[in-house]
Every structure is written in structure tokens, then in C-alpha cells.
Amino acid sequence: MSKTSRNMQLKDFRLIRAIHETGQLGMAAEQMSMSQPAASRMLASIERFVGGPVFLRHPKGMTPTPVGETLIRNGHNLLNGLDQTLREISSVSEGLAGTARVGSVTDGSVAFVVPAIQELKKTATGAEIHVDVAPSDVLVEGLFRGEYDFVLSRIPPQYDKRQLEVRQARHEDICFMIRTGHPLSGQAVASLDQLAAHEWVIQAPHTPLRQAVEAVFVSAGVELPDDIVNTTSMLVMVAYLASSDAIAPIPRQVAHLFVANGLAGGLTTVEPQEKIQVSPYFLISRRNVMISAVATRLRELVFAAMNLPAP
């Protein structure tokens, strides 16, 4: 391993990435601004060094071998780290504050990431912030791939928690969002039987929110509705609610954003008679991985917000 670290060069990893992306040596050479014979010689040199083929040649292109997949995966992290460094150097030279990349589940993005960004921007007006909202498995995979500085998510069981710095748990409380003319809109609280009598718009099976909602209904002996629309899109959910008598279980912070701030006119909420709480999510970073100063500051602002008492 130490020999590979000393002898593999950045241009080798760039060529491997280009071949993987294009599937063609000629196109990879063009992308690298080099001749095809030169690219072929470089690839042959890499393959001699690692002791076997990096790609399998087919009439229609090239696909990585297991050795190639290892080089691609580790090269991806190496080149991403280098590109991030160069971007930050460029930002500093131009008087900007740097870049932060954050991933979050929906509730965390609304409750903590957005307010933290707003606080950060009071002083770091030139900071470039990227925020993705996605399921926890996508977020943690992205964290390990170096695509995020930190995430707010749950930890899927297949990941080694020893490689992670995990801080501050928060739960998602669930209410139901409905249109203002809905038959349930005149009451503050609805029984589980009343909620089960309507069509639902909800996240797909096996998601934490869906599991939490179903567990409460099953524990209470209330049959789940047969009429369900599955979606992860907030836009689809809002559009469906606005034009039907469907109901949608949704994190309370997200519902407040839509209802109290009037982002989707004509929507309101009703509370379930039984408390519904989703399994906790956490503020997660990778251990021993350096992140930019602006990302560190944003992470601390999120952490501080998560430490405040729940409203």
C-alpha cells in the first residue's frame, strides 16, 4: 500500500477517472488533452505497476476490473479532496469565505440548517453553501465519498460508526397536513380511526417516517388505509393535498414552514391523538477528516441550534 501511495500520481488517477466516465480510451485521452498513444502507454504503465488489468476491453468500450473499481473509488476521494482544496484557495484569493457542503433529512434542513446558514451569512457573505436534502442512506454514503462536510441523518446499520463523529440527537414529531376545506380541518386533534379513514400521501415503505407512523397505528389496533400515494417529493405532496381530501403525515417543523409562513396557501394541520415520533437523527462528520473553516463554523452553528430546547 505504501508503494502505491508513493508511485501512483495524480495524472494516473485522472486518466482512470476519465476512462471510467467515457468508457473509451480515445475520449479519455481527449478529455486529458493528450494523444491516444500517450494515454495507452500511461494505462499500460499503471497496469504493470498494480500487477493486472485495470479495465476490461470490449468492442463497445471499457469497464473496470475489481482492481480498477478500487482505484476509481479511492481516486474519487483523492481528486475530490484536491479539487476542494484548489477551490478554497481560489476563493480565499478572491476574498471569498470558502465552501461548505451539507446534507440533511427534511426536518433537520428546515429546523437547523437553514437558520444556521442565515446566521453564518451575517458575517460570511461570500460563503458558498451547498445543501442537499435526501434519505439517510444517501447522505451517509455521500459523507463517506467526501461529497459532504457533515450531514444531519440517521446512521444506516451497514456503516462502521467508529469512523464517524456523532453528535446531538433530535427527534421528528409528526403531525398531519391537510387542505383548509378538509373534513378534519375544523378540529385540532383527530383520532387514529379518523386519520385512517382518509387517503394518505406518505413516504415509501421502510423509510423511518413511514415505519414510525405505521407502528403507532398497528400498536393501537387501527387498520392502516388501503388508499396510499407514495412519494418523497414535497412538491407532489403539496399539490396532491391542495386538490383532494388526502392527508399527509409530516414533520412538525416542515408543516410549520408551509402553514405558518403561507408557503402553500390553503393548507393547515391536525394533530394525531397518539404522539408519533420518528427515530432520532444526528449531526455526523467523518473522524480525522479536515473540513474548511466555513464548513466548521456552519457545523458549529447547526450544533448550537440543535442543543436548544425543542419548541
Domain ranges of the chain: 2-89, 96-170+280-307, 172-279
Burial of 138 (0-12, 13-18, 19+ CB in 10 A): middle
**Quick one: pLDDT band at residue 157, thresholds 50, 70, 90?**
confident
Residue with cell 453553501: 129
Written out in words, the top-level CATH class of the domain with range 2-89 is mainly alpha
Q: Quick one: CA torsion of 200, 205, 209, 211, rounded to 10 degrees? A: 110
- Which residue from 74, 94, 65 is spatially nearest to 1, judged by alpha carbons? 74
Residue 294 has pLDDT above 90, yes or no: no
Residue 264 has pLDDT above 50, yes or no: yes
What's the pLDDT tens digit per position in 97-133?
678 999 999 889 988 999 999 998 888 777 889 999 9
What's the pLDDT tens digit per position in 224-245?
998 999 998 888 999 999 999 9
According to the model, what pLDDT value does residue 90 have?
59
Q: What is the CATH number of domain 172-279?
A: 3.40.190.290
Cα 122 to Cα 9, 29, 101, 125, 298: the distances in Å are: 41, 45, 18, 6, 12
Q: What is the CATH number of domain 96-170+280-307?
A: 3.40.190.10
Does this model's pTM top 0.85? no
Residue 71 has pLDDT above 50, yes or no: yes
Cell of 100: 461548505
Q: How far is it, in rounded angstroms, from Cα 93 to Cα 99?
A: 13
Cell of 124: 460570511
Distance of CA 33 to the CA centre of its chain: 34
Lowest-confidence segment of 36-40, 159-163, 242-246, 270-274 by average pLDDT: 159-163
Do the domains at 2-89 and 172-279 have one common CATH topology?
Answer: no
The string of DSSP codes covering 194-240 is: HHHTS-EEEPPTTSHHHHHHHHHHHHTTPPPPS-EEE---HHHHHHH
According to the model, what pLDDT value does residue 149 have?
95
**Quick one: pLDDT band at residue 309, thresholds 50, 70, 90?**
low
User: DSSP 3-state helix, strand, coil percentages of the chain (rounded to 5)?
Assistant: 45, 20, 30
Q: How far is it, in rounded angstroms, from Cα 68 to Cα 63?
A: 9
